[in-house]
Chain A
């Protein structure tokens, strides 16, 4: 993928990711997160991970964010009113995030393999759905079934948590 396209999508992802954190309106935050996920899906496509890219759009941008927007509308969350910012606490939190990023940056810059470009793919990669499916149903069949049970438990839990108290 050409470097220009990579940096465009990376900047879209990062800038809208920052917009999620900075916005005071929760609906604007949720919509910024949708755009960030779309940028991330483009980055997945650039890594020849077509299945994961499509699943990212379908599940994350399509289902999870719609759920977030439903809940924001249901709770009728207003724009956070401007309040006195606790500058000390904010500076502490920001310092923690910067320290974390500094550590990640120092690790990545000292990895030798991080300087290497991606190896070319002589094999065909357009059937990655088939390869992931084969791996999922043969090697990782047990985690697959367990995740199925997990999703069932989550569904039951959500229904139970949403019950109103009987009056």
Chain B
């Protein structure tokens, strides 16, 4: 029998994998993709809880799924703007390696 904890565990592992990607990779686009992995891990967690909370009418609690809808929309807009920034950066510096773009580093 699959429990709620199994879904939360998969969501936690996916989040940790995305977090490791953001920490360890130097290519900006891979970092952005790892960020998307983290967002999707949160979406999985929300949908699992939505299915778990069954209301008195026998239907799952759809508020969390509406939230996931908004998260997907906002993440798509964020990816578009992030990639536009990366393209502008690449035009200026000809690199996507974060170690070459560290002029604001403390």
Contact = CB atoms under 8 A, between A and B. Distances in A.
Given A6-B6, A123-B58, A93 B20 contact: yes
25 contacts: A3-B1, A14-B14, A20-B21, A21-B20, A21-B24, A21-B34, A29-B33, A43-B44, A47-B47, A49-B50, A49-B68, A51-B65, A59-B73, A64-B79, A68-B83, A71-B86, A72-B29, A93-B20, A96-B19, A115-B5, A116-B4, A139-B63, A147-B74, A150-B77, A154-B78
Interface in B52-70: 52, 54, 57-60, 62-63, 65-66, 68-70
A100 B29 CA distance: 23
A101 B41 CA distance: 12
A59 B74 CA distance: 11
Main SS of chain B's interface residues? helix
Contact of B87 (A93, A116, A140, A162): A162
Interface residues of A, number: 80
A141 B85 CA distance: 31
A32 B79 CA distance: 17
B76 interface: yes
B29 A135 contact: no
Contacts of B1: 3, 117
B63 A135 contact: yes
B103 interface: no
Contact of A75 (B13, B62, B90): B90
Contact of A93 (B23, B27, B50, B85): B23
Interface of B: 1-10, 12-21, 23-27, 29-30, 32-34, 36-37, 40, 43-44, 47-48, 50-52, 54, 57-60, 62-63, 65-66, 68-70, 72-81, 83-88, 90-91, 96
A121 B60 CA distance: 8
Contacts of B72: 52, 55-56, 59-60
